[in-house]
Structures are given as structure tokens and as C-alpha cells.
Amino acid sequence: MSAPLERLVEIALRDVLDPEMDRSVVDLGLIYDITATPEGAVAITMTTTTRGCPLAGFLKEAVAAAAGAINGITSVDVALTYEPAWEPAMIAAE
């Protein structure tokens, strides 16, 4: 049951744009993992393009808000990681 919910979260996160790159956090490869329980608790692991990114707080909040707006989501936890380090090769081809 959680796989469809994870897919819905991924789709919703495509609307969250990195203001500096004007691309979605999904297309930029900033979302490393999305897991959901059958009860609707979602955990998202993400990164930013650089360690110490001034937009990290904004991006975390935007990701949490987008995921939390999905019907059936009961809680959202967004964790930042820098392992592995993000690199431009992670950007999805247009």
C-alpha cells in the first residue's frame, strides 16, 4: 500500500522548485529517498546542491508542505543529508 503513496509524494515534489536552478527538487536529484508507512507517515531524505546552502530551510519546508498536502499523509519528516554529495550528474535529462 505504501508504494503508491510514495509515488504520489514524488509527483507532488515535482512542483517544488529550487529557486536558484528553476528546476524541481526531483529533477535536480535532490530527493534521495521517500518511504511511507501504510498509516501515512512519510520520511523523505534529501540534499541540497551545496553544504551550507542558504535555501536549505526553505527547501525542507517546501518539500514537507508539498508532501503533507497529499490526502492520506498523516505526518512528514524531512531529513537533510550530504552523503553522497550532490553533483551535477544527478540532474535528470530534460
- For residue 30, give the CATH number of its domain: 3.30.300.130
Supply the pLDDT for residue 11: 96
Q: What is the pLDDT of residue 1?
A: 41
Contact of 90 with 28, CB cutoff 8 Å: yes
How many domains does the chain divide into?
A: 1
Residue 93 lies in a domain: no
Q: Which three cell numbers stand for residue 60?
A: 525542507
Closest CA to 90 of 22, 25, 13: 25
C-alpha cell recorded at residue 86: 550532490
Q: Which domain holds residue 45?
A: 2-88
State pLDDT tens for residues 4-56. Answer: 999 999 999 999 999 989 999 999 999 999 999 999 999 999 999 999 999 99
**Cβ atoms of 10 and 26 closer than 8 Å:** yes
Interhelix angle for 56-68 vs 2-13, to 10°? Answer: 130
Any domain includes 45? yes
| DSSP conformational letter for 29 | T
Q: Is residue 11 part of a domain?
A: yes
Its pTM stands at 0.93
